[in-house]
Amino acid sequence: MIRFLQTPGPIKKIVLGGLLTVICVFMVITLVPGFGSADFFGARSRPGVVATVDGTDVTSLEVHKLAKQMIQQQFPRGGAQAAQLLPFFARQAAEQLIDNDVIVAEARRLGLRATDEDVRDRLEHGRYGEVFFPNGNFIGQAAYEEKLAQYDLTVPQFEQEVKDEILYAKLRALISGGAIVSEAEVRGKFEKENAKVKFDYAVLRKDDILKTIHPTDSELKAYYDRHKAAYANAIPEKRKVSYVWIDSAKLEADTALTPQEIEAYYDQHRDQYRVPEQVKVRHILIKTPLPGADGKVDQKGVDEARKKAEDVLQQLKAGGNFAELAKKYSEDTASAKDGGELGWIERGRTVPEFEKAAFSLPKGSRSELVESSYGFHIIEVEDKQDAHLKTLEEVKAQIEPVLKHEKAVQAAEAKATALLSQARTLGLDKAAANQGFTVVTTDFVRRTDSLPGIGTSAPFMEAVFSQPENSPPDEAQLPEGYAIFNVLAVKPPATPGFDEIRSRVEDEFKQEQATQLLAQKTHELSDRARAEHDLKKAAGELGAVLKTSDLVAPDGQVPDLGSLTGPAAVAFSLKPGEISGPIETTTAGAVLELLERQEPTDQEFAAKKDQIRDSLYADKQSQLFDTFVNALRERMQKSGKIVINQQEWKNLTRQQNTEDEGE
């Protein structure tokens, strides 16, 4: 396969920083949500196999590998807090691997294939192009194998994963291609999102009701007794701890760099400073119709789009301003408002037809009509930049803080390791004195308390509260440095008596009473207003404040009511003069009377309909595929093609820890 991939031309080594990690993870992560219901668990049990999908094993080794990659991506600095997330990531990795095999198995069953030609095209022109085909030239077999080996991938493994990715894409295109969006759906969504309403509303505020509630001690004591279970262990566990804080930031501030160190870092990371070939463009897009239910495109619509695009092109040739014409005619709504500006683009970021035209045009020139799957483009090249390596002087300011940080992290780790080793022999106080550190000893603290030097740190407190009293000194790695600590004493959680938490009981009692009274008064307000057909009169009788809104859209905000996507959205279902039922938010109750409903104009619809249609079409494609996949998985489960090894699933984390200890 590698021989097949080679193309003429000079071979240059270039790697986008960290991209291969993303590639490795992407190969096995699909977009299908969910997994793990108890129904999936079968009776078969083979050591090292988490699941079997249509004869393909998902092994513990694969799960562990992916879980580590996922953690490395999200927590590149690692540390104890990252290791604590292993159970979550191991389960997530297993689910994603199983999802991937389900999709690939069905694609093969339907006769879909990924050929060597497909793989070549994906590697050269897809997301991997800049890694394996910089400037359109294959990096060579040896470099290709070397890059994959860095991530524990062989050539056959990687290329099979690329084929699986292609199969996934083909199956999704096949299933979601039948999505249909009607004109009525587009219009309905538009009107729902763009209508505006104006209304009177009477408001009862919870804070006003709270001021009227004055409970007696006997009422509060009765409330405490009824809710005693809720106050069990309400006094949280507290711990007394001593610690030494090794601050990476302070070490970084004191770190000096030599010119030789900076140059060495630059030489070792040259690939990070390579700038790919880029072109700065703007365009005007005239869209063509989407395929119908039968997969065919309306040719009349295509011809009309071409005619419109040709007319715009003629205006440009006659001296028209590109930016102004883009604002007026372009149907790419994202760029039209900026005069068609797309900014700098690299190869592999756009559809092939657009890319070919953009990168072949000289700086300052304009294309003829370029047809793509989106429609007809007119492209103007504003600037071009050849691929090149930035000089050391250009990137020196970027290197210095990175290198300082690396050196500080290494120094902090070394100091923490040395201090911990000595503290476990001599005790923390003596070890700290020997190495010139200051020991901080706290009073009894809760998990949420702030500590000198460290501040409020959930990872540190998690480490402290997981250790037994008087256990040997231990280390907590935090984003800002290291803490070497001792747990000196523990106060277990306790249940407070009434007098100890009287203020809390009073607050909760008043909140409960206010919520009930607010609901009662809001219902009464609605009933009176509807019975008398007079919101103003009912508001006056019940002491509610009457207000009038502006003309507001569905995503608007109204004082006291908040967002109209919440309970107050009922305003859009009312007719003028109609009074709503009770509306309750967390802070108020209200009743509305609609005064006016303003429908959007046809001109607004014409401006937004394509964007709405595209959005609906994408949503329907996702819904179609999700429905298909859910049914597929249910069918494979019932037929026994998905079998989960329950014991291996439970052992994932334990086996991970065992493996780590053996490494």
Contact (CB, 8 A) for 198 and 139: no
In a domain, 607, yes or no: no
| Entry pTM | 0.49
Q: What is the pLDDT of residue 76?
A: 65
* C-beta separation of 454 from 478 below 8 A: yes
How far apart are alpha carbons 169 and 163 in whole angstroms? 10
C-alpha to C-alpha distances, 281 to 310, 327, 335, 380, 384, nearest whole angstrom: 19, 15, 11, 6, 9
**pLDDT of residue 500 exceeding 60:** yes
Listed in sequence order, the residues at least 6 apart from 602 whose beta carbon sits closer than 8 Å to its beta carbon are none
Highest-confidence segment of 90-94, 516-520, 651-655 = 516-520
What is the pLDDT confidence band of residue 117, given thresholds at 50, 70 and 90?
A: confident
What is the mean predicted confidence (pLDDT) over 244-248?
93
Average of per-residue pLDDT across 325-338: 90
Q: Which pLDDT band, with edges at 50, 70 and 90, does 82 fall under?
A: low
For residue 652, pLDDT over 90 is answered with no
Asked if residue 109 and residue 8 are part of one domain, the reply reads: yes
For residue 576, is pLDDT > 70?
A: yes
User: Distances from the Cα of 314 to the Cαs of 210, 321, 369, in angstroms?
Assistant: 70, 12, 11
pLDDT of residue 341: 92
- Poorest-pLDDT segment among 71-80, 406-415, 503-512, 536-545: 71-80
Same domain, 451 and 427: yes
The CATH number given to whatever domain includes residue 451 is: 3.10.50
Output the CA torsion sign for 338, 340, 346, 348.
Answer: positive
What is the mean predicted confidence (pLDDT) over 369-390? 92
Residue 445 banded pLDDT, cuts 50, 70, 90: very high
Q: Across residues 432-454, what is the average pLDDT?
A: 94
What tens digit of pLDDT does each residue of 16-42 get? 333 333 333 333 333 333 333 333 333
191 falls within a domain: no
Count CA atoms closer than 13 A to 640's CA, side-chain side. Answer: 2
Go through the chain and tell me how many residues it has: 663
Counting residues of the chain whose pLDDT is more than 70, the rounded percentage is 89
Same domain, 145 and 70: yes
Same-domain check for residues 15 and 126: yes
Q: What is the pLDDT of residue 422?
A: 95
- Would you say residue 185 lies in a domain? no
pLDDT at 315: 94
Q: Is residue 477 part of a domain?
A: yes
Cα torsion through 310, 316, 322, 325, rounded to 10? -60
Mean pLDDT, residues 42-50 taken together: 63
What's the average model confidence in pLDDT over 237-252? 94
| Residue 171 reports pLDDT greater than 80 | yes
Higher pLDDT, 269 or 657: 269
pLDDT computed for residue 44 by the predictor: 44
pLDDT band at residue 294 using 50, 70 and 90 as cut-offs? low
Mean residue pLDDT across the chain: 85
Same domain membership, residue 47 and residue 156: yes
List the end-to-end C-alpha distance of the chain, in Å, as a whole number: 34
Number of folded domains in the chain? 4
pLDDT at 654: 57
Whether 612 maps to a domain, the answer reads no
> Of 9-13, 419-423, 507-511, where does mean pLDDT reach its minimum?
9-13
Question: Beta-strand (E) ranges in 102-216?
Answer: 196-205
Does residue 339 have a pLDDT over 60? yes
Place 43 in a pLDDT band, splitting at 50, 70 and 90. Answer: very low
Please check whether residue 21 lies inside any domain of the structure. yes
Does residue 522 lie within any of the structural domains? yes
Judged against a pLDDT cut of 60, whether residue 410 lies above it is answered with yes
Q: Is 181 a residue whose pLDDT tops 70?
A: yes
Same domain, 461 and 562: no
Residue 559 has pLDDT above 70, yes or no: yes
Q: What is the mean pLDDT of residues 491-519?
A: 94
State mean pLDDT over 581-604: 93
Expressed as residue numbers, the domain containing 292 is 277-386
Pick from 392-396, 522-526, 532-536, 542-546: least confident: 392-396
**Which pLDDT score, from 0 to 100, does residue 26 have?**
39
Average pLDDT of span 64-90: 73
Q: Which of 491, 519, 539 is the last residue of a domain?
A: 491
Q: How many helices (H) and strands (E) does the chain have?
A: 25, 20
Where residue 298 sits, what CATH number does that domain have?
Answer: 3.10.50.40
Say if residue 408 is in the same domain as residue 483: yes
Residues 212 and 294 in one domain: no
Residue-by-residue DSSP string for 65-125: HHHHHHHHHH-TT--HHHHTTHHHHHHHHHHHHHHHHHHHHHHHHTT----HHHHHHHHHH
pLDDT at 78: 58
Do residues 485 and 242 make contact, with C-beta atoms less than 8 angstroms apart?
yes
* Whether residue 582 is found in the same domain as residue 514: yes
Per-residue pLDDT at 46: 65
- Looking at the fold, whether 370 and 400 belong to one and the same domain comes out as no
Q: Are residues 157 and 65 in the same domain?
A: yes
Tokens linked to 341:
């500006």
Q: Is the pLDDT score of 658 beyond 60?
A: no
For 547, the enclosing helix (H) or strand (E) is strand 545-548
